[in-house]
Structure 1
Amino acid sequence: MPSRIAEPRPDATAALATYGSGRRSAALGLLAASHPLPAAAVTLFAAALTAAVGRGLPGAAATVGAVAAGQLSVGWCNDRADLRRDLAAGRRNKPLAAGAVRPRTVTCAAGLALLLCVPLSLAAGLAAGAAHLVAVAAAWAYNLRLKRTAASWLPYALAFGLLPAFVTLGLPGAPWPPPWLTAGAALLGTAAHFANVLPDIEDDLATGVTGLPQRLGARRSASVAALLAVGSTAALVVGPPGPVTAYGWALLAITAATAVLVVRSPAGPLPFLAVMGLAGADVALLVVQLRG
């Protein structure tokens, strides 16, 4: 006679459902704490560059994986370092401040992602790996100290400026990227910094975060972000040898128009989303140029 399997009691079933729901909520909270939009944008930028320069599949996978791991570590480090300030400012949209994920979980995730980033970076070669690890170190330095100083823009310029080098130094002969590409990436990263902090400037000042955008104020920081975005697009449009394409001129005009919009509407998420949109258009131009 087959044995009967006891069905779980209602209270046990409810407990299991609650446990599963809690696990899903914690996983979603951990994902949100990684700053998924900027992390995905930078990773896609690296993937596009890698495809444009013709890296083989193993090297491309390691490069993209290293960038993804580095970005995750930076995002988790950022939210963990900002926990006290987020609580003081009442930022319930932050997963840690809202209690959606435990601080220890985020700390462990940041450390594990950073550890994974090291071998993946070095898999591209010593020079390429060193360039990427310096970029990641700059981002961690921003999270832990430099975001409260007038040099808050410097880690963004350095990290984004080194991203093309991470891709090209992994090629045979380990070539450095052309100066216009490095300049365009550095300017774009710095523009993202100024645009990203605009909605939180008042809360940042109240909690002791006095980076350069906070010192300049929302209006002037929006103007700086706009000028940097235009400069980045100009470097990518005019820098490469040969005539400027119709797409390049159109992109430059769109960037200038978007810059005016950012200066006129510095509040809210619009400036950062505008810079991210321009970054996508810049990457499309860059892929066409490098493949050509």
Structure 2
Amino acid sequence: MTISTPTRRAPARWIRAGWALIRACHPEPALAVTVGVTALAAASGRSVAGLAAVATAVLAGQLATGWSNDWLDADRDAAVGRTDKPVATGEVSRRLVGVAALVAGLACVPLSLLSGWQAGLVHLAAVGCALAYNARLKSTPFSALPYALAFAAAPAFVTLALPGSPWPPVWLTVAGAALGAGAHFANVLGDLEEDAATGIRGLPHRLGRRASEAIAAGLMALVAVVLTAGPPGPPRPIAWGILGVTAIALGLGAVLGRRPGSPALFRAVLVAAVCDVALLLLSGTNL
């Protein structure tokens, strides 16, 4: 009798599947949001334990959001030949991605509540907005609303865990909402044609590329102005400098973006988004 031994290909297969699963969670935005909210918490004075609670909760919510998106959109992505989607290309099974989304979503509940029940409920509501976007709202004229609500909730998730459980100032909540809506318009721009081919008709799709670019730019500019003027006292020199970079980037993008097919305005929006995040972290010291 012979005893079979596992082939050397098995570990490689698991490694490939694991890498495909990571790619299916939308790692870039997941990491960006996790780092951004954790940095805001650090600027507000949260302890090391508090930062760990924030980071793990936000990461779990982002994983649940990303994986559920690819689980729901598997058929659409395959129909348009999305080679950047591991589920659509068969690199990872739809079932595994769905299970991963469920596990991440369940883990998000206790991890969120580590920051206290008020902050935890706010974060879970934000994750609920993201899941509602995936499930239905992305195809409606209200597609920007979940982004606005989820980003507006981020400062509250941070401040409600601080001593006294204060709500964030109105200017910071407004800036978060505008940043979220702007991020939605900017994020969708790269997939407008593929989305339209599979029946996705969110607000950016209904307005068109040029209008969506202009709205994204306007929202990013609004965020920069609010975060510069909103904190108490005169704006810091560094805030004025970041605001100036934002204005220059968006101005150049508007001028250069007049050429048909030019990505200048879209790239300017991305630069403005980075500047807005820098201002948001700077504002965390005023919480």
TM-score, structure 1 as length reference: 0.90
The letter of the residue matching 1:99 is G
In terms of mean alpha carbon deviation, does 275-284 or 233-242 score higher? Answer: 275-284
1:178 counterpart (169, 185, 194): 169
In terms of mean alpha carbon deviation, does 182-191 or 16-25 score higher? Answer: 16-25
Counterpart in 1 of 2:146? Answer: 155
Report whether the alignment pairs 1:282 with 2:273. Answer: no
The alpha-carbon deviation at position 99 of structure 1 amounts to: 1.1
Aligned ranges 1:1-292 → 2 under 5 Å: 16-263=7-254, 264=257, 275-291=269-285
The alpha-carbon deviation at position 274 of structure 1 amounts to: 5.1
The letter of the residue matching 2:9 is T
What is the aligned residue count? 282
User: 1:267 & 1:168 partners in 2: Cα distance?
Assistant: 43
The alpha-carbon deviation at position 57 of structure 1 amounts to: 1.9
8 Å contact 1:148–1:210 — kept in the other structure? yes
Describe the SS at the equivalent of 2:89.
coil
Describe the SS at the equivalent of 2:8.
helix
The alpha-carbon deviation at position 121 of structure 1 amounts to: 0.6
**Residue deviations 1:155-176, cap 9 Å, x none?**
0000000011001001111100
The letter of the residue matching 2:23 is A
The alpha-carbon deviation at position 244 of structure 1 amounts to: 1.7
The letter of the residue matching 1:71 is Q
The share of aligned pairs that are identical, in percent, is: 50
Q: Structure 1: which 5+ residue stretches go unaligned?
A: 1-5
TM-score, structure 2 as length reference: 0.91
User: 2:281 & 2:197 partners in 1: Cα distance?
Assistant: 42
The letter of the residue matching 1:27 is G
8 Å contact 1:223–1:262 — kept in the other structure? no
Q: Compare CA radii of gyration and give the structure with the larger one.
A: 1
User: 2:108 & 2:270 partners in 1: Cα distance?
Assistant: 24
Describe the SS at the equivalent of 1:97.
helix
The alpha-carbon deviation at position 277 of structure 1 amounts to: 4.4
Counterpart in 2 of 1:3? Answer: none
Describe the SS at the equivalent of 2:238.
helix
User: 2:31 & 2:268 partners in 1: Cα distance?
Assistant: 16
The verdict on how the C-alpha distance between 1:76 and 1:268 changes in structure 2, with shifts beyond 3 A counting, is: farther
User: 1:207 & 1:233 partners in 2: Cα distance?
Assistant: 35
The alpha-carbon deviation at position 62 of structure 1 amounts to: 0.9
The verdict on how the C-alpha distance between 1:192 and 1:47 changes in structure 2, with shifts beyond 3 A counting, is: same
In terms of mean alpha carbon deviation, does 222-231 or 180-189 score higher? Answer: 180-189
Describe the SS at the equivalent of 1:55.
coil
User: 2:270 & 2:163 partners in 1: Cα distance?
Assistant: 31
**Residue deviations 1:217-268, cap 9 Å, x none?**
1111011100011011111111111112222222222222332455518969
User: 2:25 & 2:59 partners in 1: Cα distance?
Assistant: 11
Q: Structure 2: which 5+ residue stretches go unaligned?
A: none
User: 1:142 & 1:89 partners in 2: Cα distance?
Assistant: 21
Describe the SS at the equivalent of 2:86.
coil
The alpha-carbon deviation at position 272 of structure 1 amounts to: 6.5
8 Å contact 1:192–1:275 — kept in the other structure? no
The alpha-carbon deviation at position 55 of structure 1 amounts to: 1.1
User: 1:76 & 1:162 partners in 2: Cα distance?
Assistant: 21
